[in-house]
Amino acid sequence: MTETLIPFAEAIERYEPVIGLETHVELGTRTKMFCGCVTTFGAEPNSQTCPVCLGLPGSLPVVNRTAIEYTIRIGLALNCTIAEWCRFARKNYFYPDMPKNFQISQYDEPLCTDGYLDVEVNGKTVRVGIERVHLEEDTGKSLHVGGATGRIHGAEYSLVDYNRAGIPLVEIVTRPVTGTGEDAPVAARLYVTELRDLLRSLGVSDVRMEEGSLRCDVNTSLAPPGAPWGTRTETKNVNSLRSVERAVRFEIERQAAVLDAGGRVIQETRHLHEDTGTTTSGRSKEEAQDYRYFPEPDLVPVAPPRDWVEQIRASLPEAPAKVRARLRAEWNVSALEMDAIVNAGALDLVVQTVAAGASPADARKWWLGELSRRAHDTGTELTALPITPAQVARIAELVAAGTLNDRLARDVIDAVLAGEGDPDAIVEARGLAVVSDEGALTAAVDEAIAANPEVAAKIRDGKIAAAGVLVGAVRKATGGKADAARVRELILERLT
C-alpha cells in the first residue's frame, strides 16, 4: 500500500511534531544478567546457555553486580536520580524467543529516573528530558529459514538461538521532546548520536547499531500549533542513525496527510524499511496489552549503597560534549570543523595523532583528507585502516621538515597501508625523500635549461611565470622528489 504523503516543509508549516525515543543498549558485561553464561557476539547458536537463561524449572536468577554498576554509570552520566531501593518485575507475554514466557524487567521502580541530555541542534541546545533508565534482560533471536527476506512470512521453518537471551539490556526512555519544529528529525538523530558517544565513553557497551547492541524505538506525533499533542506512533527497532532521522521525517509526512484528510492517526507500532525509508503498520496498540507485571519473587530488591553510587560518580569520564568543547578551544577549530571530524569518526584518531606530535591542523588534514578517501575507496572504517596515529604524525613531521612533499607523503601512506613498515623505513627503502642535495638539483636544473632553450629565453626576457615549465621538467626528471621552491630559486638565479 502506498501512503499519501505531504511534503515535509508543508507539513511543518501546519503541524508541530513531538518526538520521543526509547533506546535499548546491550551492556558489555562479560556474563549475562542473571546467570554466568558468557555474552560473546557471533558464537555458535545456543552454545552460551544454561538452565537459568533457558528458563528451566527450578533454576534461580542472581543479579549481575556489574550490570547494576553500568546502569548506575549511565544514570549518573544522564543526570538522573539513582533509586535507593528498587525491584525487578515480571513482564508476562508469550514469544518463542523468550524461554521463560516472561521477561525480568523493571516496571514502576526503575533504577534511574528524571535526568537529561543536552544535544546541540543547528547551533541551539535542546535539553532532552530522560524519564527513566531501567534494566532488563534481552530475548533470544528467531531465525526464519526459507523465505526471501528473512521474515517469518513465506518461511518454511524457524530456528531460535538463545545466546542473546538474558544479556543485560538497559532501556533509556526520553520525555516527549517538543518545540524542535522542522529540526525534529535531525534532533532525533543527534540525540541518539550523543547518547551513543556518551555510552561509548562510559565503557558500558560497544554500542554497535549494526550488530543490534544499540537499537531505537522512535515515537512521533503531530498536532496543529497550540492544540493538545496528537496520537503517537512507535517505529520499532531502528538500527542506524540515518534511519532514526528518516523514520521521524517519514512519519511527519505521513501523519500530516492523515490529519489533512480529516483522518485520525492510529496508535500503533510501525516498521521502517531500510531500502525505501518508509514505515508500514505493525501491530495496533489501541487496546494496551496487559503484561500483568508483578514484583519478581525470585530476586531480592536492589538497594545500591550511597557511598558506592558516589564512588561511581567520581569515576565518570569527561562527557563527550565537554571533551569536544575543550578540544575545539585547544585546536582552534570552528563548530563546523569539529562536526566534520566527529562525523568522519576521526576524533580519537586526531587526538592520538596530536598526542604523537603532529599539529592539530596536520592531523585533521591527513585523517579527513587522504586517509578518509582511502577508507571510503576500500569501504573500511577510518579506524580499521592499517596505519597508526603515530605513523601519521611521523609523516606530517617529515613533510614539515621538508624531507617529503605532499605527493611523496601520499606515496609513503600507500606503502604504510600496503604493510611495508614505518614511514622512515619506507622513505629509506624506496628513496622517497625530497632531493635537496644542491649538486643533484643544480645538475637537473642545468639539464632542464639546456633542453628547453625557448623557455629559458623567455625567462631571460623577464617572463618569470615561464619558470613553472622548467620546475615541472626538473620535478619530472627527479621523479617528483625535487623541492619545488628550491628548484625555482636555482632557475631564477641562473636566468635573471
Q: Which residues bind Zn ion (CB under 5 A)?
A: 35, 37, 50, 52-53
Minimal distance, residue 180 CB to Zn ion, in Å: 42
Minimal distance, residue 66 CB to Zn ion, in Å: 15
Minimal distance, residue 52 CB to Zn ion, in Å: 5
In the complex with Zn ion, the residue whose CB is nearer, 37 or 302, is 37
Minimal distance, residue 254 CB to Zn ion, in Å: 42
Minimal distance, residue 54 CB to Zn ion, in Å: 7
Minimal distance, residue 142 CB to Zn ion, in Å: 19
234 contact partners, CB below 8 Å, separation of at least 6: 22, 217, 218, 219, 268, 269, 270, 285
In the complex with Zn ion, the residue whose CB is nearer, 64 or 255, is 64
Angle subtended by helix axes 335-343 and 320-331, to nearest 10: 120
Q: Classify 158 as helix, strand or coil.
A: strand
Minimal distance, residue 43 CB to Zn ion, in Å: 13
Task: Give the residue from 368, 361, 319 showing the smallest Cα distance to 346.
Answer: 368
- CA dist 50 → 135, 298, 447 (Å): 21, 17, 80
- CA dist 141 → 156, 162, 171, 252, 341 (Å): 17, 6, 18, 31, 36
In the complex with Zn ion, the residue whose CB is nearer, 162 or 366, is 162
In the complex with Zn ion, the residue whose CB is nearer, 40 or 280, is 40
Minimal distance, residue 36 CB to Zn ion, in Å: 7
CA–CA separation, 285 vs 278, rounded Å? 20
In the complex with Zn ion, the residue whose CB is nearer, 52 or 351, is 52
Angle subtended by helix axes 467-477 and 438-451, to nearest 10: 120
Minimal distance, residue 368 CB to Zn ion, in Å: 45
CA–CA separation, 480 vs 474, rounded Å? 8
339 contact partners, CB below 8 Å, separation of at least 6: none
In the complex with Zn ion, the residue whose CB is nearer, 50 or 356, is 50
DSSP label at residue 6: -
**Cβ-count burial of 37 within 10 angstroms (0-12 exposed, 13-18 middle, 19+ buried)?**
buried
In the complex with Zn ion, the residue whose CB is nearer, 131 or 137, is 137
CA–CA separation, 172 vs 80, rounded Å? 11
In the complex with Zn ion, the residue whose CB is nearer, 53 or 133, is 53
In the complex with Zn ion, the residue whose CB is nearer, 32 or 481, is 32
CA 398 from chain centre, in angstroms, equals: 32
Task: Write the DSSP string, 209-267.
Answer: GGGTSEEEEEEEEEE-TTSPP---EEEEEE-SHHHHHHHHHHHHHHHHHHHHTT-----
